[in-house]
Amino acid sequence: MQRRELIRLGVASGLLGLLGLRCSSASKLRLPVAVATWNHGRQAVEMAWQTLRQGGSLLDAVEAGVRVVEADPNVRTVGLGGYPDATGRVTLDASIMEGTGRCGAVAFLEGFLHPVSVARRVMEKTPHVFLVGEGARAFALEEGFEEVNLLTPEAEQDWLRWKEQQNTPAPPPPNLENTNRIDVDNHDTVGLLMADATGRLAGACSTSGAAFKMRGRVGDSPIIGAGLFVDNEVGAACATGWGEGVIRIAGSHLIVELMRQGDDPTIACRKAVVRYRARTSDDTLQVAFLALRRDGAIGAYSLLPGFTYAVKEAGRKVRLQQAPSLLS
Ligand code: SD4
């Protein structure tokens, strides 16, 4: 979508809002709808869809979809095979939320294949929302999750190469912004949003975070309101890209609130990107958002070109789409 067109849409949406009407510039899909970030979103929405069709709940569906990507060793930014931190250890962040406001999250979790499932247990089995590090690990073990080594030889090789490139020994605290600039594609959280036939919603996301991050660093993905937000009254949103920037604007919550005020999902995502850009002086760090309104309208927007997402709606095959971007 071109800038001029979006401005027009924004104005139109505002005018219609004043008249108490909704601008329907976003494509409204046939419910149920599942959308997920990046190319690996394809496997995620397939599995989510299948799970729902076979009688699973919405939560079962989003969890199952994300688990597929977590278990794929070829995805270097999520779960098994994810890039390690600066010290060579893979630490994972994940969250899950349903539209009623129930949610759970884990961060700085090491050694478990499915952080999204641990996040769900936090939601279902504890009075809390968010467990991190050693506490999250102890809880996962108590719940019967098995410890595994997530560092694949390929990811380790890349880490060793990265370490060699550092000028100072052993390793220096990385400048996260520089780390991310090495390869904007190292930011590939899987975020999955789904609405069932009645417009109830759920979402989940999972990531190994920024490649070679400082030990202990946590991104936006496990932070409810930043990396993920879901509200049955309105819709859902998730984020991918430079987590620090997303946290600073509480990106996913912002998008849901903009949709609540009548913004179309694409315009809401675009406004979040504009807000993000206003808070950072750097135009090289990718950030991208995906939104699903409860009626099945979807939207996506990124700062830089290249953000893809997968869509599955009733009666149609999964398709990959390219989000519009603020910069070319
Ligand atoms: C993070 N936002 O930890 C995550 C990484 C990511 O797409 O999105 N990758 O900053």
Q: If pLDDT is split at 50, 70 and 90, which confidence band does 76 have?
A: confident
Nearest to 265 by CA among 235, 306, 225: 235
Residue of 90, 109, 240 with the most ligand 1 atoms within 8 Å of its CB, for mutation: 240
Nearest to 9 by CA among 25, 20, 21, 22: 25
User: Per residue in 90-110, pLDDT tens?
Assistant: 999 999 999 999 999 999 999
Residue of 39, 77, 286, 309 with the most ligand 1 atoms within 8 Å of its CB, for mutation: 77
Cut 0.85: pTM above it: yes
Give the chain's domains with CATH numbers.
26-322 (3.60.20.30)
Minimum mean pLDDT among 21-35, 149-163, 242-256, 312-326: which range? 21-35
Q: How many CB atoms lie within 10 A of CB 199?
A: 17
| Residue 189 known to be catalytic | yes
Q: Which residues contact 270 (CB under 8 A, 6 or more apart)?
A: 6, 301, 324, 326
Minimum mean pLDDT among 48-62, 131-145, 175-189, 224-238: which range? 175-189
H-run or E-run covering 246: helix 243-248
Q: If pLDDT is split at 50, 70 and 90, which confidence band does 6 have?
A: very low
Nearest to 266 by CA among 284, 290, 239: 290
Residue 80 has pLDDT above 80, yes or no: yes
Catalytic residue (one of 91, 179, 189, 266): 189
133-142 and 115-125 helices cross at what angle (nearest 10)? 80
Mean pLDDT over each residue of the chain, to the nearest integer: 88
Ligand 1 mean position to 118 CA, how many Å?
Answer: 19
Q: If pLDDT is split at 50, 70 and 90, which confidence band does 13 have?
A: very low
SS3 label, residue 270: helix
Whether residue 38 contacts residue 308, with contact meaning beta carbons closer than 8 Å, is answered with yes
User: Per residue in 26-70, pLDDT tens?
Assistant: 567 899 999 999 999 999 999 999 999 999 999 999 999 999 999
Residue of 178 and 67 predicted with greater confidence: 67
Ligand 1 mean position to 315 CA, how many Å?
Answer: 32
The whole-number pLDDT of residue 168 equals 56
The whole-number pLDDT of residue 90 equals 95
Pocket lining: 191 vs ligand 1, CB cutoff 6 Å? no
Pocket lining: 220 vs ligand 1, CB cutoff 6 Å? yes
Q: If pLDDT is split at 50, 70 and 90, which confidence band does 15 have?
A: very low
Q: Hey, which residues does 42 pair with through a beta bridge?
A: none
Residue of 38, 70, 189 with the most ligand 1 atoms within 8 Å of its CB, for mutation: 189
Q: If pLDDT is split at 50, 70 and 90, which confidence band does 81 have?
A: confident
Strands 103-109 and 92-98: antiparallel
Pocket lining: 251 vs ligand 1, CB cutoff 6 Å? no
The whole-number pLDDT of residue 26 equals 59
Residue 323 has pLDDT above 80, yes or no: yes
Residue 173 has pLDDT above 70, yes or no: no
The whole-number pLDDT of residue 14 equals 44
Q: If pLDDT is split at 50, 70 and 90, which confidence band does 182 have?
A: very low
Q: What is the mean pLDDT of residues 289-312?
A: 97
The whole-number pLDDT of residue 239 equals 97
Rounded to whole angstroms, the Cα distance separating 276 from 80 reads 30
Q: If pLDDT is split at 50, 70 and 90, which confidence band does 175 have?
A: very low
**C-alpha distance across the termini of the chain, in Å:** 12
Pocket lining: 241 vs ligand 1, CB cutoff 6 Å? yes
Ligand 1 mean position to 95 CA, how many Å?
Answer: 12
The whole-number pLDDT of residue 23 equals 40
Ligand 1 mean position to 242 CA, how many Å?
Answer: 6
Phi, psi for 178 (deg, rounded to 5):
-70, -40
Pocket lining: 221 vs ligand 1, CB cutoff 6 Å? yes
Structure token pair of residue 279? 């808070």
Ligand 1 mean position to 193 CA, how many Å?
Answer: 16
User: Per residue in 134-154, pLDDT tens?
Assistant: 999 999 999 999 999 999 999
Q: If pLDDT is split at 50, 70 and 90, which confidence band does 288 have?
A: very high
Pocket lining: 70 vs ligand 1, CB cutoff 6 Å? no
Q: If pLDDT is split at 50, 70 and 90, which confidence band does 169 have?
A: low
Pocket lining: 82 vs ligand 1, CB cutoff 6 Å? no
* Nearest CA, atom 2, ligand 1: 243
The whole-number pLDDT of residue 139 equals 98
Ligand 1 mean position to 21 CA, how many Å?
Answer: 35
